[in-house]
Amino acid sequence: MPSSSLTRDPFSGLELMSEGTFASLGSMEAMDWDTLPQSKSPSILKGLLLAFAITATAIASHHYLLKPAGIPLGSTALAMVVGIALQNLLTLPSVIQSGCRWIVTRLIPIAIVALGAGLDLSVLASSGLRYLFFIITAISVSIASALFLGKLLKLKKSTALLIGCGTGVCGSSAILAIAPILKSDEEDIIVSVGAINLIGILAMFICISIGASFHIDAQTFGIWTGATIHAVPTVAAAAFDHSMEAGEIATLVKLGRVAMLVPLIIIIALVKHRQLNATTSSNGTKSSSLLSRGTKLIPWFVWGFALMALTSSLGLLPEISFPSTVFSTEPLTIDSTQMIRTAGKLLLAMAMAAIGLQVNLKSMLTAGKKAIIAAMLSWVTLTVIVLTLLWLI
């Protein structure tokens, strides 16, 4: 494989381990995008207009065609499907990518925060420990199954561990955050990122299909998707496709997994150092510095989502009333909570269209058959265990 192909991420096309990679992949999954370099493209307008057109088409198609026909595909997921189709069937101008990356890095965090409106945090009093149980279970099962499958498939241990972390925590973001600790080479990273992104997209559509085919209550579906799908927007797309309640629970559980990236980084680093018989003083990786580094990987929208949910739970989002006018004899009242949630779903749909326009399926498939098989089987194992536990408890 040429060296140039090893330095670029098959999902975003950015150079691996660069600031741009962390920023672009981060807002899709877990990390801050403040360091994203400014685009050198003269305009992001073409990408914005194309993503907007795809979103509008997806919403109209869902409302007038798919929903009446009983086809279980929401507008958010449909927007991603159309984006992927256009990217892989047509030759799109490179300038489109600038607008798409701008949408992904700017709009997804805002959408996630907006989707916190309407979530009643009192649910944590009754179900918080249950959610935490499934968060820890998801991470543990993902890593254990990936390591086992990696050994069975004769994958490098570091590659298997990266796949496990990506499956259990937050996809590519976890891989790129943990790879330096494992001293993984570029090939380990590229096969892991490619496999995780491919399986993450498949997981979203599989969950949507199962949710439409079987009667699954909102809380069960929310916990399941929040605990098993790889990236924040794909979790939201799948769960909100089921119901608003499922989407809110899934986002809460998923962001809990994202927050676990900090302790996971510290645990892996300490285990790695012990295996190497190295002291913290000799390699300069003290727990405090690891904590500082890990904390920077937790994005602001995690806290924004929590703050929005708290504001909504306390009833601080008011109804907006307008007096009667010459156009209407009745006063107009707008529910700000519902308005914010709707805006969040629209922004999410537009972001999914932009993500789809960046998905190069051919590049993803170059990740390697063994890595893809390991990532798929790890996700299947996680799904089966989570669904079984949800049925039992």
- Residue 380 sits at φ, ψ, to 5 deg, of -60, -45
From the number of C-beta atoms within 10 Å of its C-beta (0-12, 13-18, 19+), residue 148 rates as middle
Report the pLDDT value the prediction gives residue 177, as an integer from 0 to 100: 79
Six-digit token string for 261: 């990236």
- Distance, in Å, from the CA atom of 65 to the CA atom of 243, rounded to the nearest integer, reads 19
Closest CA to 201 of 355, 86, 22: 355
Report the pLDDT value the prediction gives residue 392, as an integer from 0 to 100: 92
Q: Classify 32 as helix, strand or coil.
A: coil
- Distance, in Å, from the CA atom of 45 to the CA atom of 100, rounded to the nearest integer, reads 9
Handedness of CA 212, 214, 215, 221 (dihedral sign): negative
Report the pLDDT value the prediction gives residue 7, as an integer from 0 to 100: 38
- The answer to whether residues 347 and 114 touch, using CB atoms and an 8 Å cutoff, is yes
Report the pLDDT value the prediction gives residue 288, as an integer from 0 to 100: 55
Six-digit token string for 176: 């790129």
- Distance, in Å, from the CA atom of 68 to the CA atom of 77, rounded to the nearest integer, reads 17
- The answer to whether residues 91 and 40 touch, using CB atoms and an 8 Å cutoff, is no
Closest CA to 149 of 377, 368, 386: 377
Q: Can you say whether residue 286 is alpha, beta or left, with left for phi > 0 and alpha for psi between -120 and 50 degrees?
A: beta
Neighbouring-strand partners of residue 314: none
Q: What number of CA atoms fall less than 13 Å from residue 292's CA on the CB side?
A: 5
- The answer to whether residues 201 and 359 touch, using CB atoms and an 8 Å cutoff, is yes
- Residue 15 sits at φ, ψ, to 5 deg, of -70, 135
Report the pLDDT value the prediction gives residue 74, as an integer from 0 to 100: 86
- The answer to whether residues 150 and 368 touch, using CB atoms and an 8 Å cutoff, is no
Distances (CA, A) of 205 to 73, 148, 202, 287, 354: 9, 26, 5, 39, 17
Residue segments in the chain with a per-residue pLDDT below the cut of 50: 1-42, 278-285
Give the number of other CB atoms < 10 A from CB of residue 326. 5
Report the pLDDT value the prediction gives residue 291, as an integer from 0 to 100: 57
* DSSP code of residue 15: B
Contacting residues for 11 by C-beta, under 8 A, at least 6 apart: 25, 172, 193, 194, 197, 358, 359, 360, 363, 364
Could you please report the per-residue DSSP string of 267-290?
A: HHHHHHHHHTT--HHHH---HHHH
Predicted structure pTM score: 0.80
Six-digit token string for 379: 């996700």
- Distance, in Å, from the CA atom of 208 to the CA atom of 105, rounded to the nearest integer, reads 25
From the number of C-beta atoms within 10 Å of its C-beta (0-12, 13-18, 19+), residue 199 rates as buried
Report the pLDDT value the prediction gives residue 338, as an integer from 0 to 100: 87
Number of residues that this document lists for the chain? 393
Virtual torsion, Cα 213, 247, 63, 333, nearest 10 deg: 140
User: Integer distance in angstroms from the first to the last C-alpha of the chain?
Assistant: 48
Report the pLDDT value the prediction gives residue 13, as an integer from 0 to 100: 40
- Distance, in Å, from the CA atom of 244 to the CA atom of 222, rounded to the nearest integer, reads 10
Report the pLDDT value the prediction gives residue 358, as an integer from 0 to 100: 83
Report the pLDDT value the prediction gives residue 94, as an integer from 0 to 100: 81
Six-digit token string for 214: 């079987």
